Structure formats: structure tokens, C-alpha cells
Amino acid sequence: MSVAGTSSVPRIVAFQFNPDQVSRTLTPRTATEAGQVAPGDALRTRGAPVEMIAMTVEVDATDDLERGDSVAATVGVAPQLAALEMLLYPSTDQVLASAAMLLAGTIEILPPEAPLTVLAWGPTRVVPVRLTGLTVTEEAFDVTLNPIRATVQLTAQTLSYHDLQVTDAGYSLFLAHQVLKETLASSSLALSASAAVTAGR
């Protein structure tokens, strides 16, 4: 499930089917990335690793059409696709406000912020993310060319305290995620130690 929130009304995008596979790539933030190659910097880290997540999400209106759902009969899976795609868009209100400021002669306009997006993949993985890409493949259509089945290849970067301000809600959310990882890692060490003791008897 992917959750997007604004300061007022949160938006929830629930996956119709759980993806069969989730791919995660973690790249360490090392001091050498910044050109610091002194011997004493070999083990230094500049924060949490950069984590990229990839998954394929399937949406299908077949069951809804069989049940006689009026929305599916009218527009197929277009609402589900639009909900995912809107996670990449600034709101229309932000765009219009920026345009008004530009017309009023404002010298500098900051790019609008997208809503905070949170990937909730079970109770042990709730992390703020930035979507880096959506590839939509529409596979079947109704008579008015609305998609009735599609797959979405979704890629996202987990946002850590390295990427967010301390006052951002995602900052605390990622810290809680890391604390949970540390707890799970400690449990693994304890289990390994117990297994080693048992094997040595």
C-alpha cells in the first residue's frame, strides 16, 4: 500500500494485488563519494544508505466488471492508474499559485513540493519514499479505449534523515524504521549465538 499525504487531506492508494516481487538495492553513502580518500576515511559513512525499491503493480477491472461496477464499466482502471500517477504531480492549486506569483512579478519561485509519500509494505516496512519512475503498460481496453487491465513498474527511493529536514514527518518515520531494523538485526544475532552454543554442545 502506498500512502500520500498533504497537510490537510491524506490520499491512500491501495494496491489491488500484492506484487509478487520487490527488488531493493542499497548503496552506501561513503566518505570517498565526496572525494575524501585519506586512509582514515575508509570506514566513514555519511548517513543511511541510498535504498532504491522496484516492484510491478497489477490492476485489473475484470472482477469489478463482472460484478457490474459502474465506475469500472465507465472508465476501467483509469482511476487506479491516475491515483498512482498523481503521486508524481504537484497539485493544480500549487501550479496556479506559482503562475499567479510569476504574473505578479515575483523574482524567485521555489518549485512546488510533492506530498509526502509513504510506502507501507507490512508492519515492518513503513518508509517515506520519493517515486523516481512509473512505467505504465495498458494491456486491454473497452470499446471506448479505457484500459481495463494494466501493469505499472514502480521505482522509488527511500528517503532517510539524510534527505529530509528534522521537522519533516518523514524524518521521524525513517528513524523509527531504522530502530526497527536495529531490533531485528539484534534478534538475528541472538538467534545465531544461541544456535552456535547449541551446536557446540
36-82 pLDDT per residue, tens:
566 667 677 788 999 999 999 999 999 999 999 999 999 999 999 99
17-21, 142-146, 152-156, 185-189, range with the lowest pLDDT: 185-189
CA 93 to chain CA centroid, Å, is: 23
> 34 pLDDT exceeds 80?
no
pLDDT tens profile 111-165: 777 778 999 988 888 999 999 999 999 999 999 999 999 999 999 999 999 999 9
Taking alpha carbons only, the member of 170, 186, 158 closest to residue 48 is 158
pLDDT value of position 173: 93
The angle subtended at Cα 60 by Cα 56 and Cα 64, nearest 5°, is 150
Edge-first strand order for the sheet with 2-5 is 11-13, 2-5, 116-120, 126-141, 147-158, 50-60, 22-27
Residue 6 three-state SS: coil
Count: domains in the chain: 1
Q: 163 lies in which domain range?
A: 2-199
Confidence of residue 90 (pLDDT cuts 50, 70, 90): confident
Given a contact cutoff of 8 angstroms between Cβ atoms, the answer to whether 27 and 50 are in contact is yes
Closest CA to 90 of 117, 116, 118, 112: 112
- Residue 54 burial class via C-beta count within 10 angstroms: exposed 0-12, middle 13-18, buried 19 and up: middle
Q: How, if at all, do strands 126-141 and 22-27 pair?
A: unpaired
CB 131 within 8 A of CB 119: no
pTM above 0.85, yes or no: no
Burial 16-52 (b: 16+ CB within 10 A, else e): eeebeeeeeeeeeeebeeeeeeeeeeeeeeeebbbbb
Give the pLDDT of residue 4: 47
Distance CA 98, CA 94 (A): 6
Does the structure show a pLDDT above 70 at 108? no
Rounded to an integer, the average pLDDT of 98-110 is 77
CA 91, CA 96: separation in Å to the nearest integer?
9
